[in-house]
């Protein structure tokens, strides 16, 4: 009896030693992961704080309501942030419906064969194409072939091209996350494909789709190369015509053809000046872009969280 107990105790000691050893691996992995995440976060934070403190003297209301100027102290980003907003509106209106439609088609309607595989590979690859290539494509296609000019419309369409693969991939991913048994339940009561898409697929996947949309927009807002390629202006002291008119039908579309600049180009323009005072403006613009991007990402996270709370499989 005593012998038996002693043996069991010894075994127990061995098991505990083994667990301790294995737990060490847990600890090492967790430590490496933490280290990587912390260094990334801290780098970004330092970068942001540096921009913020450099640009702090200029970050006032006037900075947002002044046009760029030859005098650094009076220069502002009014035309740039309005330009960015208008371009993003076009991008959103083009890329979102097209991206969702393409994703739904590929996932729900397209027959699975070599052609759909080819399309799938191409769409994923498109997301990785350098943005300047899109700029060149847009210059040839939108500016010269279609004659759209160096306008807000061209820029919006270009960034929409850039964003499209992101939206398509996000749409497909979130559609795939819908469990088969929910889909079958909808078909089993006699719904057509379109009814299933409209009443189930899109409502259940819209959290994921919106996240993709916002991440795509956040990318588009910071893009510089393609917008420069199509010939955005770097110094602009006027605003595009207002999209909202005072007379019926209260909407006008002249702004689409207007010249423009966007935030990153304005920043690039200032940073390439020799005078230090303009560098302060550039830093302030950089801080604005980062805050905007962070806000958009935060909004995406909030949306995803809200949807997950409502839909659990």
Partner 1 sequence: MVATQRKTTQKKRFNDVVKAESRNLDFYYADGTQALKNVNLDVYENKITALIGPSGCGKSTFLRSFNRMHDLYTGNRYDGQIVLHPDNTNILDKKVDPIEVRMRISMVFQKPNPFPKSIYENVAYGLRVRGEANTHVLDEKVEEALKGASLWEEVKDRLHDLAFNLSGGQQQRLCIARALATEPEIMLFDEPTSALDPIATVNIEELMSELKKKLSILIVTHNMQQAARISDYCAYMYLGELVEHDLTDKIFTNPSKKETEDYITGKFG
Site for partner 1 in 188-207 (CB under 8 A): 188-192, 195, 199-200, 204
Looking at the Cβ atoms of 70 and 112, the one nearer to partner 1 is 112
The alpha carbon of 221 is separated from its chain's Cα centroid by a whole number of angstroms, namely 8
Give the tokens for residue 167. 């939206």
Least distance to partner 1 from the beta carbon of 111, Å? 7
Q: Please select the residue that binds partner 1; options are 4, 27, 111, 247, rule is CB under 8 A.
A: 111
Are 171 and 205 a contacting pair, CB within 8 Å?
yes
Size of the site for partner 1 (CB under 8 A): 22
Does residue 129 bind partner 1 (CB under 8 A)? Answer: no
Least distance to partner 1 from the beta carbon of 299, Å? 22
Distance between CA atoms of 63 and 76, rounded to whole angstroms? 4
Does residue 119 bind partner 1 (CB under 8 A)? Answer: no
**Binding string to partner 1 for residues 284 to 313, with x set by CB under 8 A, is what?**
--------------------------xxx-
Does residue 114 bind partner 1 (CB under 8 A)? Answer: no
Distance between CA atoms of 158 and 145, rounded to whole angstroms? 14
Are 256 and 90 a contacting pair, CB within 8 Å?
yes
SS3 251: strand
Least distance to partner 1 from the beta carbon of 256, Å? 39
Does residue 184 bind partner 1 (CB under 8 A)? Answer: yes
Looking at the Cβ atoms of 21 and 312, the one nearer to partner 1 is 312
Find the DSSP H helices in the chain.
2-55, 61-65, 78-104, 114-126, 131-138, 152-176, 180-188, 193-196, 202-222, 225-229, 263-271, 276-310
Least distance to partner 1 from the beta carbon of 194, Å? 11
Residue 71 DSSP label: S
**Footprint on this chain of partner 1 (rule: CB under 8 A):** 111-112, 179, 181-192, 195, 199-200, 204, 310-312
């Amino acid at each position: 009896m005593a012998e038996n107990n002693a043996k069991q105790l010894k075994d127990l000691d061995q098991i505990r030693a083994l667990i301790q050893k294995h737990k060490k691996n847990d600890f090492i992995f967790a430590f490496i992961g933490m280290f990587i995440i912390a260094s990334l976060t801290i780098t970004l934070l330092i970068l942001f704080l540096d921009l913020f403190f450099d640009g702090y003297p200029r970050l006032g209301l006037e900075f947002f309501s002044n046009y760029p100027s030859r005098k650094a102290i009076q220069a502002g980003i009014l035309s740039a942030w309005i330009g960015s907003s208008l371009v993003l509106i076009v991008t959103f209106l083009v890329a979102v419906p097209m991206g969702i439609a393409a994703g739904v088609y590929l996932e729900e309607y397209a027959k699975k064969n070599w052609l759909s595989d080819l399309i799938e590979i191409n769409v994923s690859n498109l997301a990785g194409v350098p943005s300047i290539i899109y700029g060149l494509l847009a210059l040839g296609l939108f500016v010269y072939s279609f004659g759209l000019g160096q306008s807000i419309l061209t820029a919006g369409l270009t960034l929409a091209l850039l964003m499209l693969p992101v939206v398509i991939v996000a749409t497909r991913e979130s559609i795939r996350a819908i469990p088969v048994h929910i889909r079958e339940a909808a078909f089993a009561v006699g719904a057509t494909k379109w009814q299933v898409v409209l009443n189930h697929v899109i409502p259940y996947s819209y959290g994921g789709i919106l996240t993709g949309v916002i991440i795509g927009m956040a990318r588009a807002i910071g893009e510089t190369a393609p917008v420069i390629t199509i010939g955005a202006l770097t110094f602009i002291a006027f605003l595009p015509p207002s999209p909202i008119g005072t007379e019926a039908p209260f909407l006008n579309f002249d702004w689409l053809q207007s010249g423009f600049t966007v935030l990153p180009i304005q920043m690039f323009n200032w940073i390439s000046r020799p005078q230090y005072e303009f560098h302060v403006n550039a830093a302030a613009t950089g801080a604005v872009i980062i805050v905007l991007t962070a806000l958009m990402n935060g909004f995406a996270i909030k949306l995803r969280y809200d949807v997950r709370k409502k839909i659990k499989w």
